Structure 1
Amino acid sequence: MSTVEPAGWRRNTALFLGGQTISLFGSMVVQYAVMWYVTLQTRSAIAVALYAVAAFLPQGVVSIFGGTFADRVNRKALIIVSDTSTALATLGLAVLMLNGVTDLWVILVACAVRSVGAGFQQPTVQAVIPQLVPADRLLRINGVFQTIQSGLALLAPAVAGALFGAFGIVPTFFLDVVTALLGVGVLLLVTVPTLDAVAGKTTGFREDLVEGARFIWHHAFIRWLMILFAVIIVLTGSPSFVTPLLIAQEWGGEVWLLTVLELAFSIGMLLGGIAVSTLLAKRSRTRMIVLSSFGFGVFSLGLGLAPELWVFYALMFLFGAMIPLFSAPFMTLVQEAVPPEKQGRVFSYVTIVMALSFPLGMVAFGPIADAAGVRALLVGTGVLAILVTAVAVLVPSGRSAMRAAAEGAGPAATAERVEAEVDAG
C-alpha cells in the first residue's frame, strides 16, 4: 500500500471520524438501553440470547453483500443510505412503543432491521479509512478511532442509564434518530472518491463475493488472523452479554448497577485505546493480538470466579482494556495486507465473523447459562480461550508470525514470510 499522503487527508479523516462518532453514539445508547430493557423485563438468559440473535444475525448475513457492494459503488453513498434507513427503523419502533406496543417480538424485529443497516455500514466504514489515511498512519488512526469508540462506550451507558432510568426506553430511540441524521450531514462534507476499479469493473456480484473468500483462504496470515478473531469473539464476546444478567441475579436489578458495569468496561477500553494510539503505536501488531487474546481468557475466567461486586467491576475494566489491544492491530493488519479494491469484500467477512459469532454463540451459551449458571459459563469459556490462543501460536502460521514479530519484521514482510513458510512446510 502506498505511503503517499492523499490531499486533504487530515480534514477528510477528521470529518469522517466525527460523523461516524455522532452516529455511533446514538446507536450505542440504544444498544445499551434495549439490552437492559430485555434483561430487566425477562430476567432470562434465553431472552438475552434472542436479543443477541436479532441484533447481530441479520448484520452477519447482510454484511457479506454489504462489503461486496462497498467494492462496487461509492462507499460514502452506501454509508449515507445505511444510516438513514436505520434511523427510520428506530423512529418506527419509537412510535409503536409510544402507542403501547411493547411486545418483545416487536422490539426484536426492530433490532433486526437496525442490524441489516449495520451489515452494510460497518464493512464500508472500515474500507473507507485506508482510502483517506496514509498507510504509515493507519495503526495510529485506528487507535484514535478505537479510543473515540471507547470514549463513547464510556459516555453512552451513562446517557442510556440516565434516560432509561428517568424517562423509560423511548427517549433513547429519538436520540438515535437525531444523531444518525447529524452524522449523515457531516459525512456529506467528506470527499470519498469512487475507486478506479469500480468504474472499470467487469466482474459480476457473485464473482466478487467468491473472490473475497478465496483471497482470505489462500493467504495464510489473513486466514490465521480471521480464525483467531472468530474463536476469541465466540468464547469471550458472547458470554459478555450475560454479565448484566449475573449482576441482576446476584447483586440486584437496579439500572445503576448495570451502568457501573458498562462504565468499568468502557473506561478500560478508553485507556487501552489511548495506549494503542500513543505508547503502543510502534509495537508489533501480531504480539498485541496474541497477548490480548490470552488476556481475554484470563479475565473471563476471573469474572466467573469473582467473589465480590467490586472485583467483578475491576475485572470488567481489565477485560475492556484488551479490546483495543486486539481490534486496532487486527484491523490495521487486514488494511495493510489487502488491496484497496478488495477491502470491502474482505471486511464484509470480518463483519460476518463478528456479527454471527455473537448470536450463534449465544444460542449455545444462553441455555448453558440458564442451566449451569453464568459463572460456570464464564469460567469454561475463559479456559477454552486460553487453550485456543496457545494452540494458535503453535500452529505453523502462528509460529511463523511470532518469529517475524520477534525479529521486528513489518506487517507486509510478516505476511509474506508466513505465506512462504507455510507453503514450504
Structure 2
Amino acid sequence: MTDATPQATWKRNATFFLAGQTVSLLGSMLVQYAVMWHLTLTTRSGTVMMWSIVFGMLPQAVVSVFGGVWADRHNRKLLIMGSDTAIAAVTLALALVMASGVDDLWVIYAALAVRSTFAGIQTPAVGALIPQIVPEDQLLRINGFFQSIQSAMMLLAPVVAAAIYANFDIVAVFFVDVVTALIGVGLLALVPVARIVRSGDAADGAPPRYFDDLRSGVRYIARHGPVRWLMVLFAVAILLVGAPSFLTPLMIARSFGTEVWKLTANEVAWAIGMLGAGLVMAWLGPRVRRHLAIVVASVAVAGVFTALLGTATNLWVFFGYGFVVSATFATMTAPSMTILQTTVEPQYQGRVFGFVGIVMAVAMPLSMVVFGPLADRNTVESLLVVAGVLLVAFILVLLAVGPTRRSLAALDAATRNAADAGGDDDGDDAGGDAGGGVAHADASELADASELTEERHS
C-alpha cells in the first residue's frame, strides 16, 4: 500500500475481503461437518474417518510448497478467486454425481483431495494478500478480526450444517457451498490488488525459474533466523496443545459423564475463547507494540493451562481452563501472522505462508498420531499435564539459549519499530510503504546478525 491511500479505501477493501472470506469459509465448514457426519453415520468406520482426514489434509500440505511460490509469482487475488471457483466446480460435480445415486467412498475421497489441493494454493495467497490491502499499523486488527471470524464459524457452521443435513441431505449442503464460494469470489473481485513487483525479476520482467524460486524461498526461511524460530515456536505449540485439546471430549466422557450437553458446552467454551481473544486483538490493533512478547507469553500460558486441564476435578473449572487455552490460540495466531506480514519482504511472503500452511496441515495430524494411541493406554489427564509441562519447558529452554534469545529479541525490536512507525500515521493513511520499509530493512539486517551470532556460537 502507499501513503496516499486514504483510510476509507483500505477499510472498504478490507471489508469486502473479510466479508468474502467469511461467506466462503462458512460454506467450506458446512461441507467439513456434513462429510464428517455423513461418513460417520453411513460407515461407522474409524478407518474411513482416517482416510477422510488423509485425503482432506495431506494434499494441502504438499501443494502449499508450490502454492507459496505461485503466490509470489502471480496475482494473489486471482489465485484466491481461481481456487475458490475450482473448489466450487468440484463440489458442484460431487453434488450432481451423488444426486444421481452414486455415493461410493472414492467419490467423496476424490472430492476431498481436490478441495484440499486448491486450499493449498489459496491459503498462502490469502496470508500474503492481506498486507497488500491493509496499512501495516492495522494488520493486527485485521488479523484479529479474521481469527474472530474463523472462531465464529466454529459456532455457527455446525448449527447450520445440522439444520440442512437433517432436513434435506448432504447434497443440499454441497449446493450451499457452491453458492457461498461464488459469493466470496464476487466480493473479492471488488477489491483492487496489484501484482507484486519483485526485485529478483529479470530486466524484461520475467521471474526466475520455478524451482529456483522454490529453493530461494527455502533458503530465505533457513537463513532468516527470527522467522525460522517463530515457525518452530508455532509448530511446537500446535504439536503439544493441538491434539491434547481434541482429547478433551474423551476426558469429559471418561471423568465427568457422557451427557451431550457437557460435550457441547466444552466445544462452546473453546469457540468463545478464540472468538473473544480474536476480538480483543482486533480492538487493541495499532496500540500493540510487542507482538512477539504476546506470542511467547501466549504459548507459555497455553502450556500452563493445558497442564491445569489435566488436574481439573470440577467440570466448570475444566471449561474455564479450556476457555483460556483456546484464547491463547487467537493471541498467538493473530500477532504471529502480523509479524510475518511485516518482517518478510513482500516478494517472499507467499513462500513463507506456504510453509506456514505446511506446518499447520502436518502438525495436527502428527500430534494426533502420537497422542491418540497414548490416550488408549493412559489417562487423558496425564497426557494433558505432560503436554503442558513440555510446552512450558520448551519456552524456558528457548529463552535460555543465547543466540535464539538474541534472534527473537531482534525480531521483537523490528516489529516494535515498525509498529511505532506505522502508529505515527494514527491509521488515517496507509503507512504500508513507510512502515514496511523499516520492518523489512530491519528484518534483513537482524536475519544477517542472527546468522553471524549463531555461527560464532556453533
TM range (shorter): 0.7 to 0.9
Is it true that 1:227 corresponds to 2:229 in the alignment? Answer: no
Deviations 1:335-375 (A, max 9, x none): 11111111111111111111111222223333333343544
- SS across alignment from 1:143: helix
Deviations 1:252-302 (A, max 9, x none): 374x65544332212111110111122364241111111111122223323
Correspondence for 1:83:
84
Letter in structure 2 aligned against 1:130: P
Tell me by how many angstroms 1:101 deviates: 5.8
Tell me by how many angstroms 1:406 deviates: 8.6
CA contact (8 A) 2:80 2:126 kept: yes
Q: Say if 1:242 and 1:200 are closer, same or farther in 2 by CA, change over 3 A.
A: farther
- Identity between Structure 1 and Structure 2 (%): 49
Correspondence for 2:3:
4
1:127-276 matched pairs, under 5 angstroms: 127-164=128-165, 169-197=170-198, 200-247=205-252, 251-252=257-258, 254=260, 258-276=263-281
Give 1 or 2 for the bigger CA radius of gyration. 2
Deviations 1:214-272 (A, max 9, x none): 11111111111011111111222233344445556664374x65544332212111110
Q: Say if 1:36 and 1:302 are closer, same or farther in 2 by CA, change over 3 A.
A: farther
| Alpha-carbon distance in 2 for matches of 1:106, 1:377 | 37
Tell me by how many angstroms 1:325 deviates: 0.6
- SS across alignment from 2:73: coil
Structure 2 alignment gaps of length 5 or more:
419-438
Deviations 1:42-84 (A, max 9, x none): 7887765544433322111001111111111111111111112
Letter in structure 2 aligned against 1:368: L
Greater mean deviation of Cα atoms: 202-211 or 25-34 = 25-34
| Alpha-carbon distance in 1 for matches of 2:60, 2:220 | 22
1:18-57 matched pairs, under 5 angstroms: 18-35=19-36, 49-57=50-58
- SS across alignment from 2:192: coil
Q: Return the TM-score normalized by structure 2.
A: 0.81
| Alpha-carbon distance in 2 for matches of 1:340, 1:9 | 18
CA contact (8 A) 2:343 2:415 kept: no
Letter in structure 1 aligned against 2:224: H
Letter in structure 2 aligned against 1:189: L
Letter in structure 1 aligned against 2:238: I
| Alpha-carbon distance in 2 for matches of 1:88, 1:60 | 22
Q: 1:410 aligns with which of 398, 406, 417?
A: 417
Aligned length: 423
Letter in structure 1 aligned against 2:353: F
Letter in structure 2 aligned against 1:150: S
Q: 1:399 aligns with which of 385, 388, 405?
A: 405
Tell me by how many angstroms 1:130 deviates: 0.9
Is it true that 1:383 corresponds to 2:389 in the alignment? Answer: yes
| Alpha-carbon distance in 1 for matches of 2:381, 2:39 | 20
CA contact (8 A) 2:79 2:122 kept: yes
| Alpha-carbon distance in 2 for matches of 1:38, 1:88 | 22
- SS across alignment from 1:71: helix
Letter in structure 1 aligned against 2:177: D
Correspondence for 2:428:
none
Correspondence for 1:288:
294
Deviations 1:120-145 (A, max 9, x none): 11100011111111222222222222
Letter in structure 1 aligned against 2:374: I
CA contact (8 A) 1:157 1:262 kept: no
CA contact (8 A) 1:56 1:358 kept: no
Q: Say if 1:297 and 1:406 are closer, same or farther in 2 by CA, change over 3 A.
A: same
| Alpha-carbon distance in 1 for matches of 2:251, 2:170 | 22
Tell me by how many angstroms 1:170 deviates: 4.6
Tell me by how many angstroms 1:389 deviates: 2.0
Letter in structure 2 aligned against 1:268: G
- The RMSD of aligned alpha carbons is 3.2
Q: Say if 1:77 and 1:420 are closer, same or farther in 2 by CA, change over 3 A.
A: same
Structure 1 alignment gaps of length 5 or more:
none
| Alpha-carbon distance in 2 for matches of 1:97, 1:82 | 22
Q: Say if 1:97 and 1:385 are closer, same or farther in 2 by CA, change over 3 A.
A: farther
- SS across alignment from 1:196: coil
Letter in structure 1 aligned against 2:193: V
Q: 1:338 aligns with which of 322, 325, 344?
A: 344
Letter in structure 1 aligned against 2:449: A
- SS across alignment from 2:274: helix
Greater mean deviation of Cα atoms: 72-81 or 243-252 = 243-252
| Alpha-carbon distance in 2 for matches of 1:109, 1:385 | 37
Letter in structure 1 aligned against 2:267: E
| Alpha-carbon distance in 2 for matches of 1:142, 1:133 | 10
